[in-house]
């Protein structure tokens, strides 16, 4: 088991509280998940690549479909420091009504 995980979250330019949008066990997978989330939310990246703030944080600015600024962050967090949080779940398999 890994000693840390990578949280992917988005922070908006207004006072909206940041939201965790994914968790990954590797930095490369976190970048992939961030790209999938950005595409699903129809955000547009405002720069080509990720900015490394230090060894555990990366950010990439984007803009929402309404033109509001948003930053997508990837933060490495030790497992024993991850606070409990709940991710909304959706059914991955839909059953047809018969």
Q: Which two tokens stand for residue 7?
A: 């949280």
Write down the pLDDT at residue 89: 37
Average pLDDT, the chain: 78
Task: Dump the DSSP string for the chain.
Answer: --SEEEEEEEEESSSPPPEEEEEESSHHHHHHHHHHHHHHTT-EESSSSPEESSSSEEEEEEE-TTS-EEEEEEEEEEGGGPPP-------SS-PPP-
Length of the chain: 98
* pLDDT digit string, tens, across residues 36-74: 999 999 999 888 888 876 666 788 888 888 888 888 988
Write down the pLDDT at residue 83: 64
Verdict on whether the full-model pTM lies above 0.85: no
Write down the pLDDT at residue 56: 65
Q: From the CB of residue 26, how many other CB atoms can be counted at a distance below 10 Å?
A: 11
């Amino acid at each position: 088991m890994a000693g840390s995980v990578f949280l992917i979250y988005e922070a908006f330019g207004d006072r909206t509280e940041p939201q965790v949008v994914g968790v990954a066990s590797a930095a490369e997978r976190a970048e992939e998940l961030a790209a999938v989330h950005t595409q699903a939310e129809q955000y547009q990246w405002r720069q080509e690549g990720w900015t490394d703030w230090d060894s555990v944080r990366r950010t990439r600015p984007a803009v929402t479909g309404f033109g509001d600024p948003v930053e997508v962050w990837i933060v490495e967090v030790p497992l024993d420091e991850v606070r409990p949080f709940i991710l909304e779940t959706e059914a991955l398999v839909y059953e047809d009504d018969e």
